[in-house]
Chains A and B, each alone.
Chain A
Amino acid sequence: MKFPVPHDVKAKTIPGTEGWERMYPYQYQFVSDDPVRHQYEKDTFWFYDGLHYPEPLYPFDTIWDEAWYLALSQFNNRIFMVPPVRGVDHRIINGYVYISPVPVMDPEEIGRRVPNFMERAGYYYKNWDALEAKWKLKMEATIRELEALQIPRLADMEEMSVVTDALGESQGYHLLKNYDDLINLGIKCWQYHFEFLNLGYAAYVFFLDFVQKLFPSIPPQRVTQMISGIDVIMYEPDEQLKKLARKAIELGVDPVVSFSPEWSVVEAALKKLPKGVEWLSSLNLAREPWFNISTGTGWFHHDRSWNDQMNVPLSGIATYIGKLKQGVSIDRPTEKVRAERDRITAEYRGLIENDADRKQFDELLGCAKTVFPYVENHLFYVEHWFHSVFWNKMREVAAIMKEHGVIDDVEDVWLLRRDEVKSALWDIVTAWATGVTPRGTMTWPKEIVWRKGVMQKFKEWSPPPAIGTAPEVIQEPFTIVLWGVTNKSLADWAAVQEVKDPESITELKGFAGSPGIREGKARVCRTVAEVGELLEGEILVAPTTSPSWAPAFAKIGACITDVGGVMSHAAIVCREYGMPAVVGTGHATKIIRTGMTIRVDGSTGAVTIAR
C-alpha cells in the first residue's frame, strides 16, 4: 500500500499559515535539513491519531500529547522493556498529530529484552490488584495537590504578613513557581496514567488475538462481551444522576428540577423550597468528584466538565425523572448482561478442542478481567477528574495574564505553548515587580489573532490517514487495538476520503461496536451540549462519546461515532444497554445529517444512508 511522503504533505503549506511550526515543539516537525532524520521519517509509517485528535491541536493542548509521548514510550522501552518495540514517535502536520511505533530491529536485542520483560511485566501482572490500590492513592494525592494549588493574583502591595512572617518571597515568585507546579502535576499524572495501561492493553489485545486464532470469524465485540458486566467507576457519574432523579421524586421536587433546562433558574427555584435545599445538598455531595466528568474526552481545553456546565447533568436528571414517571426502568440491565456474558463465554469455551487451549483461554480471560477495571477507571481519574480541575486552574493563570494585558481573553491562553505561557508570566511578573508594562502586551495579542486564523484553516484541512512507508508487521499493542490500524481500516478511510461528493455516499463502514440492527432518524450531536435535542429512539451520530454523554444512551436507539474502537466508550455503553453501535467510521458526523433515515448494523459495522 502506498502512502504520501510526509515531507511532501508538509511542503504544501496552506496559504496564510506560513510559519505555523512555531506553534508546536520543534521536535514535532518533519525535517529536511537533517539527512539522517529526514531518511528515518521517510522510511517510517506514520498514521494520523484521529482517535485522540479529531481536530487540530491548540498549542497549549499539546501538553497531553507530549505527556503521553513520554509516558507510553518510557514504560514500553525503559521500564518494562517490551521486547520487540520501543516507544511511539510523534510528529505534527498542520496541527494534526501523526504517530508511529518504533520497533527494535536487532533480533539479538529483542532476545536480551525478553527476560527483563518477563520479570518486570510479570511482577505487575502478578501483583496487579495490590499495585492498583497503591496507584489509586498516588493518583488521589496528586489530584488533591492540584486542587490545593493557589494561583496568586499580583497585588499592588504585598500583604503585611509577608513582612511580619519574614516570608522573603513575593506573589510574583509564587505565580511562577505554582505555574511550574501545575504543569509538573499534569506531567506526573500522565506518568501514572501509563503505569498500568500498556500492560492492561497488552492483556486485552492478546486475549483478543488468542480467541481470534481459535475462532477466526468471531466479531471482536463478542470477545469484549466476555469481559463485560464488570463494575467500573466510569458508570458512577451516570448512576449519580439516576440517584438524584429518584431523590427528586422522593422529595416531591421533581417538577421544579424538570421545570427549565437552565440550571440557574432551577437552582434559584430550589433554594426557595426546604425540600429543594435538601435536594441541593444531595447534589453537592454528588458533585465531588463525580461531576468532574468531562463533557468531551477531557483531552482538550474546550471539554468542560459537568461542574462547569450544570445544564448538561440537569438535562440527564430530567430525562431520568421523565423515565421514572412513565414507570420505565432506568437501571442498567446488569444482571442480564452478566448472564449473557456467561452464556457466551461458556459456549465459546465449549467449542475449544483441546485442554492446552482451554487452559490458555482461562488464563488470558482471567488476566483480561483483572486489568479491565483499570483500563476503564484511569479515564475518570486522569482525563476527567484531573483534567477538569487542571483546565480551570489554567483559566486562573489566564485571568492574570488578561489582567496584565498580555492576552485579550481568558480563552486566548490556549493559543500559546506552555513554555510561551511561562515566558509571558516572567514578562508579567518582572514588569509587575518593576512597575513597567510587559512587553507581551504589544506582541501576544497580535500573534494570537494570527494563530486563531491558522487554527481555522487547519480545521478545514483533511489530514491523510497515513503517510510514509507501511511496515509488514506491527508489534505495538496500542496501535492495533486502540487505533485499529490494519490495511483494511486504512483502505476504508481512504476510500471515503476520495469520494468527491459526500452527498452521494450511501454506506459507511466502521467497527462493529455492539450487535443488532436499528433503522431510524439520525441526530448529529457534535458536543454533549446538543444531546438535549435528542428525541426518543433517534440514532445518535457523534464525533466520539464519553461518560458524560451517558444520559443520552437512555433515549437513543443506536449510536454511531467517528472515532473509537470496540473498547471505546460508545461501544461499551451500547453493549451494556443492548443497543447497536458502529464506531470508528471516520467521517459519520461530516456525512450524515440530522433527520436522515439511516440503518445501523452493529453486527457487521455497516451504516446505510437512505437518500
Chain B
Amino acid sequence: MGSVAEALAWPTAGRAAARPPLVCWFEDCRRDAVALVGGKCASLGELIYAGVRVPPGFALTTEGYRRFMADGEMARQVQALLAQADLQDLAALEALSERIRALIEAQPFSVQIEDQVAECYRKLALRSCMPAVPVAVRSSATAEDLAGASFAGQQDTYLWVRGIDEVLQHMRRCISSLYTARAIAYRANKGFDDDSLAISVGVQKMANAFTAGVMFTIHPANGDRSVIVIDSNFGFGESVVSGEVTPDHFVVNKITLDIIERIVSHKQMFYTVDAKTQTSQAVEMPFERQTVQSLIDDEITELAWLGKRVEKHYGCPMDIEWAVDKDLPAGGNIFILQARPETVWSARSQSPVAAPGGSAMDYILSGMLAGKKVG
C-alpha cells in the first residue's frame, strides 16, 4: 500500500468499482491520503512509513463520515437547520449549534460502520496488550494541518477514552464539533461550502507519557535550520502545549546532535491520568521533581535524531508532538504523536545573506563596513 488509489481500494482490492474504505489503519495511509483520512491521520501514516515510532491507531475515513451523515437524511436535516442561521446573533447561533450537535450525537452509526470500528478497536487493544485500551479520539480535518492553512483547534480532541461504546460516542462528538458556533461562523465568513465539508476521526492508543512535549526542527525564535528545539515537562504534553508551565528547554545541534543549550525550568504542575476517572488531570508537581531535568540526555539525543528523520522524510522543517512512554523500556519508548510542517518560518521568504557579487572579497568588504556590534 502506498498511494491514495491503493488505499481507496481497501478492503476490497481486486474488485471492480471499489468503494473507498469506511475505516483504515494509520499504517495504510500516506501523505496523499488527506482527502480520505484528513491531515493528521495521513501524517501519522506517513510517519510510520518513514520508520518513526508512532502510537498505533485507525481512522474513520471521510467516506465513513459521509455515509454517517447520509444515513437517515441527517445531512439534509443539518442543512435545513443551518439555513436559518443568523451569523450576527451569537446567542441564536449557539442555540442552533447545540441543536445540530445533539442531533448528530444522538444518531447511531450504521451496523456496518460500528462493526468495522469495533473490530479495529479490538485489534488495537490486542496490539497494545491492554483490554479496553485507552485511546485518544480526535478529528482529522481535510483542510487542517496543511502548511499555510492552520485551522488547529477548530475541532475537538478527547483523551483517555476507553471501551467501544465510549469510542463510538466520542467519534460522533468529534464529527459534531464541526458545528460549534465558532466553526459555523468561521466557514460562513470564509465562504466554505458545507457540502464539500469532510472530516475523518482518528482513534489512537494513548501514550502513557512519563515526559512529553513539543519539538521544532527549526529554531522558532530565529529560523535557524541547523538546530532542533525541544520543550518538555513531566506527564502529558498538554502542560507544554497549553503554556501552563515554563517547560525545560533544549537546543540540539541538528548536524552533530550535541545539546548546545539547556534550561532546566522550575516546573510547578503536570498532567497525569486520574486512575478513577481515567481522565487527564492537572496536578501539582512534587517538590523534589520541580527542578529535575524532565528528559535525560540520551532521550534528548534520540528525540532529536527522530526529529531529524521526520524532517528529512517531509523535506521541510516540522512541528512535532512527542512523548516518552512510561510503560515501555528505554530504547523503544519514545513516540512521535503528531508532526506537521512548521508554518511561521516556512511562510517567510528568506532574503539572502550573501553580499551582492558573491565573491569572498565582496562579503569581507561588506562585513568590514558593517562592523560587529558589541553586545
A residues touching B (Cβ–Cβ < 8 Å)? 1, 82-85, 110, 114, 117-118, 121-122, 125, 202-203, 205-206, 209-210, 213-219, 222, 343-344, 347-348, 351, 353-354, 356-357, 359-360, 363-364, 366-367, 470-475, 477, 480, 485-488, 515, 603-604
Contacts and interface: CB of A to CB of B under 8 A. Distances in A.
A603 B355 contact: no
A603 B373 CA distance: 24
Given A125-B361, A222-B256, 6 more contacts: A1-B375, A121-B361, A203-B360, A356-B352, A486-B374, A603-B260
Contacts of A84: 368-369, 371
Given A203-B360, A477-B368, A472 B222 contact: no
Nearest to A516: B258
Contacts of B361: 118, 121-122, 125
Given A82-B368, A219-B260, A206 B375 contact: no
Contacts of A364: 360, 363
15 contacts: A83-B365, A125-B360, A125-B361, A202-B364, A206-B364, A206-B367, A215-B226, A217-B227, A217-B261, A222-B256, A344-B256, A348-B226, A359-B354, A360-B354, A360-B358
Nearest to B356: A356
Contact of A217 (B251, B354, B355, B365): B251
Given A209-B367, A473-B373, A486-B374, A354 B350 contact: yes
B86 to A, nearest CB: 48
Given A125-B361, A217-B251, A363-B358, A487 B375 contact: yes
B358 A356 contact: yes
A200 B331 CA distance: 47
Contacts of B225: 215, 351, 353
B345 to A, nearest CB: 10
Given A125-B361, A348-B255, A214 B353 contact: yes
B365 A118 contact: yes
A392 B261 CA distance: 49
Contact of B363 (A82, A114, A210): A210
Most interface-central of A121, A205, A209 (chain B CB within 10 A): A209
Nearest to B366: A206
Nearest to B297: A517
Contacts of A214: 353
Interface of B: 219, 222, 224-227, 251, 253-256, 258-262, 350, 352-355, 358-361, 363-365, 367-369, 371-375
Contacts of A343: 255
A366 B358 CA distance: 13
Given A356-B358, A473-B371, A487-B374, A363 B363 contact: yes
B365 A114 contact: yes
A360 B373 contact: no
A79 to B, nearest CB: 15
B256 A354 contact: no
Contacts, number: 131
Nearest to B308: A347
A219 B255 CA distance: 11
B152 to A, nearest CB: 25
A382 to B, nearest CB: 24
Given A348-B255, A353-B350, A603-B259, A216 B363 contact: no
A348 B256 CA distance: 10
Contact of A366 (B254, B350, B354, B360): B360
A517 to B, nearest CB: 9
Contacts of A351: 225-226, 254
Nearest to A491: B375
Contacts of B352: 354, 356-357, 360
B32 to A, nearest CB: 25
Contacts of B261: 217, 604
B251 to A, nearest CB: 6
A356 B322 CA distance: 36
B261 to A, nearest CB: 7
Given A85-B368, A604-B260, A360 B363 contact: yes
Given A83-B369, A351-B226, A357-B354, A217 B260 contact: yes
Contacts of A485: 374
A488 B358 CA distance: 31
A479 to B, nearest CB: 8
Nearest to A209: B367
The 8 closest A-B pairs by CB, nearest first: A487-B375, A360-B354, A367-B360, A473-B371, A475-B371, A356-B352, A215-B226, A356-B354
A488 B371 CA distance: 17
Contacts of B371: 84, 473-475
B316 to A, nearest CB: 11
Contact of A360 (B256, B260, B353, B368): B353
A473 B368 contact: no
Contacts of B258: 219, 515, 603
A344 B374 CA distance: 29
A359 B222 CA distance: 22
Nearest to A481: B372
Contacts of A206: 360, 363-364, 367-368
A127 to B, nearest CB: 13
Nearest to A202: B364
B90 to A, nearest CB: 44
Contacts of B219: 216-217
A202 B227 CA distance: 27
Contacts of B358: 356, 359-360, 363
Contacts of A353: 225, 350
A202 B364 CA distance: 7
Contacts of A477: 368
A117 B227 CA distance: 37
Nearest to B222: A216
Contacts of A205: 367
A123 B255 CA distance: 36
Contacts of A486: 374-375
Contacts of A356: 352, 354, 358
Nearest to A122: B361
A475 B365 CA distance: 11
Nearest to A218: B226
A117 B365 contact: yes
Contacts of A1: 375
A281 to B, nearest CB: 46
B267 to A, nearest CB: 22
Contacts of B360: 125, 203, 206, 363-364, 366-367
A213 B255 CA distance: 17
A106 B354 CA distance: 26
Given A122-B361, A216-B219, A474 B367 contact: no
Contacts of B374: 470-474, 485-487
A344 B222 CA distance: 21
Contacts of A218: 224, 226, 253
A178 to B, nearest CB: 42
A480 B372 contact: yes
A82 B352 CA distance: 25
Contacts of B368: 82-85, 202, 206, 475, 477
A84 to B, nearest CB: 6
A597 B167 CA distance: 57
Contacts of A122: 361
A493 to B, nearest CB: 14
Nearest to B359: A363
Nearest to A479: B372
Given A210-B363, A474-B372, A604-B261, A515 B224 contact: no
A110 B368 CA distance: 11
Contacts of B359: 363
